[in-house]
Amino acid sequence: MRHARISGVASVQPRTSVSPLAEGLAGRFKTEVLDGKTFVIPLDGHENRNWAKLNNDGVVEYAKAHCAEKGITKLYELKKADSSLYQTLGKRKTPDGKNLLVQVFERKDFEEITLSGRTFQIISNPEGDRNWKAMPDDEMVAYAKAYIAEKGIKKISELEKGPNKDRGLGAQLQKRKLIGQVFKRKQFDEITLDGKKFKIPLNGHGYRNWVKMTNNEIVDYAKAYVTEKGIKKISELQTGQNKNHGLYSQLQRRKLIDRIFERKLFEEVILGDHVFQIPLTITGKNGNRNWIAMSDDEIIVYTKAYIAGKKITRHIELQQGPNKDAGLCHQLYKRKLMDRVFLEIKADQEASAILALETALENF
């Protein structure tokens, strides 16, 4: 354990040596060289820097050197790099009631920014952050226009979330209802689908406003959309490669699905020499096979043909293999038909073998 006498001021020494400190308490400490100066910093029982044993001058001097060494020029940079030091500076006050942060960073009454060939003066608050509240509406609009032109921002969402976002500016524009003066809001989104032109209303944020469209308008647009994108069923509109959540939600909410996708009553399945018509559901998720509408005998005949066509030999292959059919498997187990299917298949195979043997003996 290292010991030294620790004063209330962080000791500042030349790089080459650490001289004895002024009168103070003995305890653990560590030395740091920052910006050409050596600091002796007290530590607490957990080996963390013990800011309580440093007076205001000591903390400020250390912070200035720390910022100079790390190239820190703004408050948020210090907060990110050393939150403990930042909090200590923020909590302590100068005799005139200001926190110590104002002594570390040179305070400017305003920040000069040049955008699109024009220079703006942004007033700063006591903490050094931009004081948007002190900026008149016309100046804010002019600055925002120059900013979005400089950064290539086209809509408010890019100002709030994009790579060149400025949430403070965006929040003020929203709060003062100045968005319309900064961004030219399009009233409609003009789209051509399947050779037809559509005008989709837009809301204040530039998103499609489906609510302002009538049922017939949405149906016409949806039909053209699914034709253009080659969408055959509702699930592809919901989760497929060309999904459109907004359109899908409106179709569901307004119960317009039936006007877009033709509901089939049966699915035709060819297995070997057999052609089956599997009933489909007409409510809920349309297109699902409706096994409940089939009798036990119909399911058994279909299953035997399916197993033969897919060359399935065991129960587990129907349930988990590459040719699995979970819906069919579930119905077989639910109706307790799985064993019956495989017993009948075995019986059919044995009968075929006997018939083949009898035929062979007859021809012998």
Residues 171 and 192 grouped into a single domain: no
* Torsion sign across C-alpha atoms 93, 99, 104, 109: negative
Residues 275 and 342 grouped into a single domain: yes
Residues 318 and 352 grouped into a single domain: yes
Question: Whole domain around residue 156: which residue ranges?
Answer: 110-182
Long-range contacts (CB closer than 8 Å, 24 or more residues apart) made by 318-323? none
Q: How distant, in Å, are the alpha carbons of 7, 15, 85, 90, 169 from that of 71?
A: 28, 19, 15, 20, 26
Q: Identify the pLDDT of residue 282.
A: 64
Residues 174 and 211 grouped into a single domain: no
Q: Identify the pLDDT of residue 7.
A: 42
Residues 69 and 159 grouped into a single domain: no
Residues 79 and 138 grouped into a single domain: no
Rounded Cα distance between 347 and 350, Å, is: 5
Q: Identify the pLDDT of residue 302.
A: 93
Phi, psi torsion values for 225, nearest 5 degrees: -65, -50
Residues 199 and 289 grouped into a single domain: no
Residues 287 and 352 grouped into a single domain: yes
Q: Which amino acid is at 351?
A: A
Inter-helix orientation angle 326-334/296-310, to 10°: 140
Q: Identify the pLDDT of residue 212.
A: 92
Q: Identify the pLDDT of residue 105.
A: 76
Q: Identify the pLDDT of residue 94.
A: 81
Residues 216 and 146 grouped into a single domain: no
Residues 76 and 94 grouped into a single domain: yes
Residues 95 and 19 grouped into a single domain: yes
Given 216, 244, 260, the domain boundary residue is: 260
Given 226, 260, 294, the domain boundary residue is: 260
Rounded Cα distance between 151 and 128, Å, is: 24
Residues 207 and 294 grouped into a single domain: no
Contacts of 66 (CB under 8 A, 6+ apart): 34, 35, 72, 78, 82, 85
pLDDT one digit per residue (tens) for the chain, 364 residues: 444 333 444 544 433 333 233 334 446 888 999 999 999 899 988 888 999 888 999 999 999 999 999 998 877 788 889 999 989 988 888 887 777 887 887 666 677 888 988 888 888 776 667 888 888 899 999 999 999 999 999 888 888 887 888 888 989 998 998 888 888 777 888 899 999 999 999 886 678 899 999 999 999 999 999 999 999 888 888 888 888 989 999 998 998 988 888 777 888 899 988 899 999 886 555 568 889 999 999 999 999 999 999 998 888 888 888 989 989 999 999 999 999 999 998 998 888 888 888 888 887 7
| Domain total of the chain | 4
pTM of the predicted protein model: 0.38
Given 130, 153, 182, the domain boundary residue is: 182
SS3 state at 259: helix
Rounded Cα distance between 226 and 233, Å, is: 9
Residue with tokens 């100068």: 94
